[in-house]
Amino acid sequence: MKIAIVGAGWAGLAAAVEATQAGHQAVVFEASHFTGGRARAVDGRLPDGTPVTLDNGQHILIGAYRETLRLLQRVGVDPQTALLRQPMTLRFADASGLQFPDWPTPLDALAGIVTARGWNWGDKWSLLSLASRWHWQGFTCEASTSVAQLCRRLSSRVMAELIEPLCISALNTRPEQASAQVFLRVLKDALFGAAGGSNLLLPRVDLSALFPQAAARWLAGHGARLQLGARVESILPQGSQWQVRDDCFDAVILATPASEAIRLLEKSAPATPEAIATKIRHWTELSRALRFEAISTVYAWAPDAVLAQPMLTLRSNLSPDAAAPAQFVFDRGQLGGPAGLLAFVVSASSAQREVLQWQVLQQAQAQLGLSLRAVQTIVEKRATFACTPGLRRPAVGIAPGLLACGDYVEGPYPATLEGALRSATVAVKAARLDVYDAEPG
């Protein structure tokens, strides 16, 4: 098949790799002049004038992300070199919190809970008993249940020090608004799935080097075409094919943000037969109903700034006017970057950039004892969709020969890199099999 892929973010590049590997002719169109989408490297400069490579958002992976790890290896990236693997660790600056030993699953989770520092036996028992119930119920619940409702029997300490940071980082949605069903799926894969599923995988290289650049090289070496600076204005039916720019394709995979996919489809729908236009309208209605959340990354620096671990959990306040908005901080100096550079992550971010930056610097002083200078604050306003209970997400299949992939389409995971890459694999398979209601498994 001849497949057009619109968008060269992680999902689009993954779709191109999968299509090429399956023997199809893949052409990738990207409007910008760079690859990686919302997970790529950007240029920055330290306060002393030193150039530095940042990311447009600090990302973290876990060992359960099997599709991500498979694709990294496919394009020639060694996960052992590019990622720092360590047991699940959610420790605060005072060394309290959770840390799993390097044991088989699920014994690592059990031991981590039992040995959690700063938790009394009531805290630990509330989590152990509830986790046992989740396991017994097959990690399922009513679709309308929120994470806050799911965890109402937990102690306030466990809720504040474990569930809230996990929920807001994984789903980018506050517990009272987040889908318990999706949260349970993440917990199942991480804590009770394959060996090492709960491990933290912290990038040692910038996000462009982690996958997009390697994928682009792989595609070039295997006959695929990647066209940067090539904006797609419309997708028009041509018999059983679709026209993209000046060429016709057997299938088109939209690997763009939802808003761009909606724009393209609404512009193209009037030129399609009514049966196809109806499918397109249904898909765009679901996509338009998605609500999006921001993620902010505040980079700050001091010459002597060093954390006790590459990543620490922070005590955060989830209200919009919070004086402590960041949930996690990463020591980029321990992850291959310049010494003294820290990255603070604020999920479900809502404050103005300048206010947020000032709050994070105050939080660093109060919780880490560090006087830092701001480097750069990056706000991705539409970083993820709000993963709410009972949410209907658009399917991978739109119409015959027309598909979509990305972290927002139907699937078991929230808006993560793993979700995006899984959807890409499903989209390529669906195009080949002529299936239009497939969803990532």
Per-residue pLDDT of the chain (441 residues; tens, 9 = 90+): 999 999 999 999 999 999 999 999 999 999 999 999 999 999 999 999 999 999 999 999 999 999 999 999 999 999 999 999 999 999 999 999 999 999 988 899 999 999 999 999 999 999 999 999 998 999 999 999 999 999 999 999 999 989 998 899 899 999 999 999 999 999 998 887 778 899 999 999 999 999 999 999 999 999 999 999 999 999 999 988 999 999 999 999 999 999 999 999 999 999 999 999 999 999 999 999 999 999 999 999 999 999 999 999 999 875 555 589 999 999 999 999 999 999 999 998 988 999 999 999 999 999 999 999 999 999 999 999 999 999 999 999 999 999 999 999 999 999 999 999 999 999 999 997 765 554 454
- Residue 279: C-alpha distances to residues 275, 282, 301, 374, 403 (Å): 7, 5, 50, 48, 11
Q: Strand order of the sheet with strand 83-86? A: 61-62, 200-203, 83-86
Dist. CA 158–CA 130, nearest whole Å: 12
Closest CA to 90 of 62, 71, 66, 51: 62
Of all helices (H) and strands (E), which one includes residue 298?
strand 292-301
3-state secondary structure of 24: coil
Note every long-range contact of 29-32, with CB atoms under 8 Å and residues 24 or more positions apart, other chains counting: 29/4, 29/5, 29/227, 29/230, 29/231, 29/232, 29/244, 29/245, 30/226, 30/227, 30/228, 30/229, 30/230, 31/229, 31/230, 31/231, 31/232, 32/8, 32/228, 32/229
Identify whether 27 is part of a domain.
yes
The domain total for the chain is 3
Tokens in use for 359?
């709050």
In a domain, 66, yes or no: no
Asked whether residue 170 is domain-assigned, the answer is yes
* Residues 19 and 54 reside in one and the same domain: no
**Residue 385 — left, alpha, or beta (φ > 0 → left; ψ -120 to 50 → alpha)?**
beta
pTM: 0.94
Helix 258-268 and helix 274-288: axis angle, to 10°? 150
Bridge partners for 350 per DSSP: none
- Considering 196, 219, 254, which residue would you say is the last residue of a domain? 196
Asked if 52 and 120 sit in the same domain, the reply is no
Same domain, 258 and 218: yes
Same domain, 100 and 124: yes
The answer to whether residue 67 sits within a structural domain is no
Let me know whether 377 and 308 are in one domain. Answer: yes
- By residue range, what is the domain housing residue 322? 41-61+201-207+292-385
> Is the bond preceding 400 in cis, omega lying within 30 degrees of 0?
no
- Is residue 252 domain-shared with residue 127, that is, in the same domain? no
Q: What residues pair up with 117 in beta bridges, in sequence order?
A: 97
pLDDT at 345 (0 to 100): 97
Domain end among 148, 164, 196: 196
For residue 331, give both structure tokens. 């020591």
> For 387-399, how does the pLDDT look when each residue is reduced to its tens digit (9 = 90+)?
999 999 999 999 9
Nearest to 102 by CA among 93, 112, 94: 112
Q: Report the CATH number at residue 30.
A: 3.50.50.60
* Beta-bridge partner residues of 253: 5, 403
* 438: in domain: no
267 and 407 inside one domain? yes
The span from the CA of 253 to the CA of 236, in Å, is 13
Give Cα separations from 25 to 10, 40, 72, 223, 352 (angstroms).
Answer: 19, 26, 21, 8, 45
> How confident is the model at residue 106, as a pLDDT?
86
For residue 220 the two structure tokens come to: 């070039």
Please give the distance of CA 222 from its chain centroid, rounded to a whole number.
Answer: 27
Tell me if 439 is assigned to some domain.
Answer: no
- What per-residue string of b and e applies to 92-123 under the rule 16 or more CB within 10 Å gives b? bbeebbbbbeeeebbebbbebbeebeebeeeb
Rounded Cα gap, residues 106 and 98, in angstroms: 15
Clarify whether residues 104 and 188 are in a common domain: yes
What SS3 class is residue 3?
Answer: strand
Q: Are residues 281 and 220 in the same domain?
A: yes
Mind listing the pLDDT tens digit for each residue in 419-430? 999 999 999 999
Is residue 284 located within the same domain as residue 429? yes
428 and 380 assigned to the same domain:
no
Q: Alpha helix (H) ranges present in 300-376?
A: 353-368
Q: Does residue 186 fall inside a structural domain? A: yes
281 shares its domain with 406: yes
Asked whether residue 69 is domain-assigned, the answer is: no
